[in-house]
Structure 1
Amino acid sequence: MLETLHPRDAVELAVHAQEHGFSGVMATDRFQPWTPRQGHAGFVWDVLGALGERTTGDLGPVAVPGSRMHPAVLAQASATLAAMNPGRHWLGVASGDAVDEHVTGDYWPEAPGRIARLFEAVEIVRKLFAAPAGRDVRFSGHYFRLEATRLWTVPEAAPEVLVATGGPVTARRAGRQADGLITMAAPPERLQVLLDRFAAGAREAGKDPDTMPKVVQVPVSWAPDLAQAEENVLANPPIGAARLPRSDLRSPHDVAAVARLLRAEDLAGRVLVSADLAAHAKHLQRLLDLGFDRLYVHDAGPDARAWIDAYAAEVLPALTR
């Protein structure tokens, strides 16, 4: 969670996590933190580049193609990271939030426009990844233009492109147009709908959904004492998992003002808050059983090393595919 960590600390924690049984990293491309208290917003591509040298697991950014980063530049960054770390990098893309994307001063679209822009960007990225050697790509769409160009540094195999979504319509479209799905932990019945719609879209495009990556981000709050776990999650709430009207907020100060309205019950079903590590293992296993094959877990507490050590000792060994 780069909005809460100095980049050097993020790298050291990822190294510590790998040494204790975790096998990869997902990090979001942020220009600002959600709230001023979080205090950081390191550039995700620099951090993942450093992680490529210090770890051996997978490296997945969730980036936002738009006015802040044109899809062609995003494709270049992804291709370079994949070339430097063969077989380890996948590219996640999302429609984004105004707190990050408004900074260039361009128009911030309504939700349908953001989704349409996202999939237009996916088309550009995939065209650049798939272009034969020495062939230029052109594109003229509603949101983006691409004059004749190509990627000059390319990996042996193109990164998978995964679309982040929380809605069934977008999930179906992701199944048709992308290589995989990313979503946030939610009640099982809601996640099952997303997985079913994603699978339907994949089959419409002639793809096998069983072979496509399905990723879930899992926010949790663990502490040896339940009261402390509850205090931690409200002190550093996982904004992405909360039911907050956040997408159009421009300032971390505005997000913080809205987040102050959160109560622990507002996160029920989306964030596991528990001192019982067996409950954490059960929560993660339920997601695996639903059909997700990659779980990226983030704890709200201030001591990430203690959480990593606790999970390594009692949670990770309890999980089965």
Structure 2
Amino acid sequence: MRPHLGYAVMLERFPPAEAVALAALAEQHGFRGTMASDHFQPWLPSHGQSGFVWSVLGAIGQATTGDFGPGVTTPSFRMHPAVVAQASATLAAMHPGRHWLGIGSGEAINEHVTGAYWPEPAERIARMFEAVDVIRKLFAASAAGRDIRHSGEFFKLESSRLWTMPERAPEILIATQGPVTARRAGRTADGLITTNAPADRLAALLARFAEGAREGGRDASRMPRVLQLNLAWAPTDEEAMADALAEWPIGALRFPRGDIRSPFEVEQLTRTVRPEDFAGRMVVSADPDVHRANLQRHLDLGFTRIYLHNAGRDQARFLEVFGRDVLPGLRA
């Protein structure tokens, strides 16, 4: 069976129209779906973009035929869970069976902009799971044609419903790099999303997710386990490393980024990143065989869908090379 390899289009790096064109180009080269980033600000000033993810997802849905969704959106600070539920349900109604909803606990660089208090991680995670509860209630009640109310610790919802609903509600995938949250996601969500980490950490994360699924009476082997894989490919190793250092130095950072508020802060923090800092965290290579082996290792760990993000600016050449030389050699 052909594995599910998709393209991660970074809206903090590419203008909206170019992002849509790249998603379509990725599909032409054999990529089967699109993950789009939800940012209010870019990670680095040099990235220079930050389009509104829901607008771009609508265009991606029209320009492609595969699955698509926000890699991580945060229905907690910038947007109420009811608004996120409405946006997601609308996309799913327009594109049946294709749209999924990735939810995370948020990062200050995107969520602090409304001026609210920025809480500690434990509260952010609690808010995330309550937001998932609100969205699930809205999906279920709206599909049944009835109103729903919610009054919780963080969110209130007056009696209402979503008047536009798909026949099947979108899958809700929880994004995390923490084992405790992964276990809870296994109990309460439809699937898991995570990103680059050493193999032993990823294996432990998947194991905790499966443990939570069993506790919830579900089979984790039938649930989506999604990875956004950041990498650096270019025609030469030297170009690939230059791209990694210039475009995606955050891939080498070894501390959480959740409390950083400004792209200019990130720029200062990444000035000390050296080539050796990418070791074990992000593959930087010109050799398609090296990237294919890395992808296969992650598929063998148990990920069911992997969305690739290449650090280089020449995305068209990356998509061509990987579509021709990397994807065909992979096995599920």
Task: Tell me the CA shift for residue 149 of structure 1.
Answer: 1.0
CA RMSD of aligned residues (A): 1.1
1:126-153 deviation line (CA, Å, top 9, x unaligned): 1111114331111111111111111110
User: Which amino acid letter does the alignment assign opposite residue 262 of structure 1?
Assistant: V
Q: Which of 6, 11, 20 is residue 15 of structure 2 equivalent to?
A: 6
1:134-180 deviation line (CA, Å, top 9, x unaligned): 31111111111111111110001000000000010000000011000
- Distance in 2 (alpha carbons) for counterparts of 1:286 and 1:246: 26
Secondary structure of residue in 2 paired with 1:182: strand
Whether 1:218 and 2:229 are equivalent positions in the alignment is yes
Secondary structure of residue in 2 paired with 1:37: helix
Flag structure 2 segments of 5+ consecutive residues without an equivalent: 1-9
- Distance in 1 (alpha carbons) for counterparts of 2:249 and 2:218: 33
Corresponding position of 2:118: 108
Corresponding position of 1:76: 86
Secondary structure of residue in 1 paired with 2:44: coil
Corresponding position of 2:42: 33
Aligned ranges 1:15-30 → 2 under 5 Å = 15-30=24-39
Corresponding position of 2:7: none
* Stretch of structure 1 that moved more, 259-268 or 216-225: 259-268
- Provide the aligned length of Structure 1 versus Structure 2: 321
Contact 2:249 2:273 in 1 (8 A): no
- Distance in 1 (alpha carbons) for counterparts of 2:216 and 2:127: 20
Q: Which of 260, 268, 286 is residue 257 of structure 1 equivalent to?
A: 268
Secondary structure of residue in 1 paired with 2:281: coil
Q: Which of 47, 52, 58 is residue 67 of structure 2 equivalent to?
A: 58
Secondary structure of residue in 2 paired with 1:191: helix
- Distance in 2 (alpha carbons) for counterparts of 1:227 and 1:105: 42
The TM-score, its normalising length taken from structure 1, stands at 0.98
The TM-score, its normalising length taken from structure 2, stands at 0.94
Corresponding position of 2:175: 164
User: Which amino acid letter does the alignment assign opposite residue 157 of structure 1?
Assistant: R
- Distance in 1 (alpha carbons) for counterparts of 2:177 and 2:73: 16
Flag structure 1 segments of 5+ consecutive residues without an equivalent: none
Task: Tell me the CA shift for residue 240 of structure 1.
Answer: 6.1
Task: Tell me the CA shift for residue 185 of structure 1.
Answer: 2.1
Contact 1:185 1:241 in 2 (8 A): no
* Stretch of structure 1 that moved more, 132-141 or 106-115: 132-141
Corresponding position of 1:45: 54
- Distance in 1 (alpha carbons) for counterparts of 2:241 and 2:256: 22
Contact 1:249 1:255 in 2 (8 A): yes
Name which structure has the greater RCO, CA cutoff 8 Å, separation 6+: 2
Aligned ranges 1:111-150 → 2 under 5 Å = 111-131=121-141, 132-150=143-161
Over 3 Å counting, the alpha-carbon distance change for 1:245 and 1:291 in structure 2 is closer
Task: Tell me the CA shift for residue 242 of structure 1.
Answer: 3.1
Secondary structure of residue in 1 paired with 2:47: coil
